Amino acid sequence: MFFDHLELAPADPILGLTDAYKADTNPKKVNLGVGVYQNENGVTPVLKCVKAAEQRLVDEEQTKSYLPITGLPEFGRLTREMIFGKDAALVDNGCAVTFHCPGGTGALRIAGDFLVQQNIAKRVWISNPTWGNHFQIMGAAGLETAKYTYYNAQTKSLDFDAMLKDLGQAAEGDVVIIHACCHNPTGLDLSHEQWDKLAQFLADNKLLPLLDFAYQGFGRGLEEDAYGVRKLAETGIEFLVASSYSKNFGMYNERVGALTVVCTSADIAKNVQSQIKVAVRCAISNPPAHGEKIVVTVLSDPELRAQWEQELAEMRDRMRRMRELLAQKLAAAGAGDFNFIVEQNGMFSFLGITKEQVQALRDKYGIYLVATGRACVAGINDNNIDYLADALTAVVKG
Ligand code: LMR
């Protein structure tokens, strides 16, 4: 018997919530669990620009033969334009290499595999709190993990001094995962001044940044959200970026992400690229084409690109409107000061409520949040916001 000693693994703390939500018979149930955009009607739509690109592919695609291990060179170039800016040197100067990986998760895992296989790093520092999967992915790749403080639960704000103090314990050569924007789960991002300091700190301490850039365009805008990544690029240090088209293209199940590695010369980048090819070949051989070709089609066609930016802005603006409305409604209901929700960015709000309060929301009201008190604000709409505000108020007031 090979398998009889196995025990049932616990459900995934984020993806498992979707199953529980689906099974709930409460007609008023609200899904604020997994980070998936929902529109005003609670639907996760296929973006119009994506549909148009898919139609074009159906009509024009000539082959389903393998893609290069890296993905299409044009995909890499367009991704670097998004990350570093259209006119940035790193787009074309050969110092940065990009791989299409299956989603942001795939990009992080390939990054971890590469760092371990090439004996580049042994330990990775991860923010506390963070997206639950970071620890698992890095552990599975074979890296030791350590936590750095990010959040002050008393003030419900980012604790930058504590962050730098903890990272001061890191050894030269350690990796540091930093959320480039829309921190998951807190929604609290570094200010420009803090990014400037952090970039210098990482350079001075010879740490290797791995930026998790899963939410570009969901915070303040495509360009605004890239401030931190571009600041690191300015310092001239080596770093990695795991980016994703799951959220900003609404292509969750197409698994389109990218790993970009910034090197100090084009020659070094060639060697890095060759070694990451080995890591990719072992893990997935080569990437799937459909979602990647959609990204290339949309980003390289001026009309489709404009339509995408418009659709992205609509998602971003709706989430921001829901933040403002929820804070207002909670204040009106006497729930206490929830104004911090408005200061947070992106898809998530860290409500600062206890596990028991999260459970009560689920049991009594059919409202699903991650156990840490993370709510996906994209699940809020004009039809459920009063119900949510009343339930939250009742639970907070006990
Ligand atoms: C989330 O944090 O909810 C998303 O990134 C989805 C996931 O894979 O966990």
36-45 residue pLDDT tens: 999 999 999 9
Tell me the C-alpha distance between 225 and 45, whole Å: 23
pLDDT digits (tens, 9 = 90+) for 257-289: 999 999 999 999 999 999 999 999 999 999 999
pLDDT of residue 259: 98
Tracing tokens 């030269």 back to the chain, one arrives at 172
Q: Tell me the two tokens of residue 117.
A: 């296989």
Alpha carbon of 15 to ligand 1 centroid (Å): 7
277 is catalytic: no
Check if the beta carbon of residue 136 is closer than 8 Å to that of residue 294. no
Alpha carbon of 114 to ligand 1 centroid (Å): 23
64 is catalytic: no
pLDDT at 179 over 90: yes
Pocket test of ligand 1: the residue of 108, 131, 255 to mutate, having most ligand atoms within 8 Å of its CB, is 131
Range 346-358 average pLDDT: 94
pLDDT at 299 over 90: yes
pLDDT at 337 over 90: no
Check if the beta carbon of residue 244 is closer than 8 Å to that of residue 257. yes
pLDDT of residue 276: 98
Catalytic-role residue among 113, 159, 189, 212: 212
Segments in the chain forming alpha helices (H) = 15-23, 48-60, 73-84, 103-117, 133-141, 160-167, 192-204, 227-235, 266-283, 290-300, 302-332, 340-343, 355-365, 385-397
Decide the pairing of beta strands 151-152 and 374-376. Answer: unpaired
Tell me the C-alpha distance between 396 and 391, whole Å: 9
- Closest by CA position to 35, among listed 384, 313, 383, 369: 369
Cβ-in-10-Å burial (0-12, 13-18, 19+) of 275 comes to: middle
Q: Tell me the two tokens of residue 36.
A: 């998936």
- Closest by CA position to 121, among listed 129, 113, 109: 113
Range 23-31 average pLDDT: 95
Alpha carbon of 14 to ligand 1 centroid (Å): 6
Pocket test of ligand 1: the residue of 14, 32, 127 to mutate, having most ligand atoms within 8 Å of its CB, is 14
Segments in 211-284 forming alpha helices (H) = 227-235, 266-283
- Closest by CA position to 106, among listed 80, 137, 129: 137
Within 13 Å, how many C-alpha atoms sit on residue 170's CB side?
A: 34
Q: Place 336 in a pLDDT band, splitting at 50, 70 and 90.
A: confident
Alpha carbon of 35 to ligand 1 centroid (Å): 5
Range 294-320 average pLDDT: 98
Nearest CA to ligand 1 atom 6: 35
Check if the beta carbon of residue 35 is closer than 8 Å to that of residue 347. yes
In this structure, of 12-21, 276-285, 288-297, 314-323, the range with the lowest mean pLDDT score is: 12-21
State if residue 215 touches ligand 1 by the CB under 6 angstroms criterion.
no
Contacts of 105 (CB under 8 A, 6+ apart): 133, 137, 257
Going from the C-alpha of 92 to that of each of 63, 84, 328, the distances in angstroms are 27, 11, 47
State if residue 35 touches ligand 1 by the CB under 6 angstroms criterion.
yes
Check if the beta carbon of residue 224 is closer than 8 Å to that of residue 191. no
Q: Place 198 in a pLDDT band, splitting at 50, 70 and 90.
A: very high
pLDDT digits (tens, 9 = 90+) for 201-210: 999 999 999 9
Tell me the C-alpha distance between 389 and 203, whole Å: 44
**Long-range CB contacts (< 8 A, 24+ apart) of 349-355?**
349/187, 349/323, 349/374, 349/375, 349/377, 350/129, 350/151, 350/156, 350/185, 350/186, 350/187, 350/188, 350/374, 350/375, 351/375, 351/392, 352/153, 352/156, 353/392, 353/395, 353/396
Catalytic-role residue among 29, 156, 247, 329: 247
Nearest CA to ligand 1 atom 8: 15
